[in-house]
Amino acid sequence: MPTNFPTSLDSYTNKVDGVDTVQAAHVNNLQDAVVAIETKLGNNSQQVNAPAGVAVPRTAGNSTVALNCAATGSAITIAAGGSGIPVTGGGTASVFGGFAIGGLVIITEIAIDGSIAVFAVSGGGGLQKIADPGGIYATTYNNGNTINVYFNGSDLTIQNNRGSSRTFNVMVLRTR
């Protein structure tokens, strides 16, 4: 099913490990949605237009700031102070906690590895890697020479096992 975005929001059904079979169409639908969002935002976008009442969470370190749009069609601009999540070599950072929603998580690190990865997250802590063109992300803790993305309790965590410090940018697309 092609995405309905930007004319309307898509809806998805959560998949259950060991019960549901994930098919190519499930992943393709999520990829269509990501492409539609990227097309809407454009290259090097610093501004997002959102309807009234939409909160845009911005994670910086271990704190989250929500920016709320005051009127339909008003622009939400991510300030220069929101500079990503620094993680030292061998270190970890909690991206967010209490994740009981489903959606997509897009993580980029462009200064050193030029990497991007897309993960599907199901309510209750399920995590599946969908795309990783550079092959440097893993979904397990303490995997060697990789960027590990995993749940530590209810916190989605990034672990940098690639050597020197890196700064990650994270975008969460919530589907429920």
State residue 54's pLDDT score.
46
Q: Which stretch of 37-46, 133-142, 164-173 has the lowest confidence by average pLDDT?
A: 37-46
The more confidently predicted of residues 120 and 153 is: 120
- The pLDDT confidence band at residue 22, using thresholds 50, 70 and 90, is confident
Which pLDDT value is given to residue 41? 63
**Helix (H/G/I), strand (E/B), else coil: 154:** coil
Helices (H), 48-117: none
User: 170 falls in which pLDDT band (50, 70, 90)?
Assistant: confident
For the stretch 42-89, pLDDT in tens is: 665 444 444 444 444 444 443 333 333 333 333 333 333 455 788 999
Calculate what percentage of the chain has a pLDDT beyond 70. Answer: 69
pTM for this structure? 0.56
- For 36, 39, 106, 117, the CA distances from 31, given in Å and listed in that order, are 9, 12, 11, 12
Q: Residue 173: beta bridge partners?
A: 104
What CA–CA distance (Å, rounded) separates 168 from 173? 16
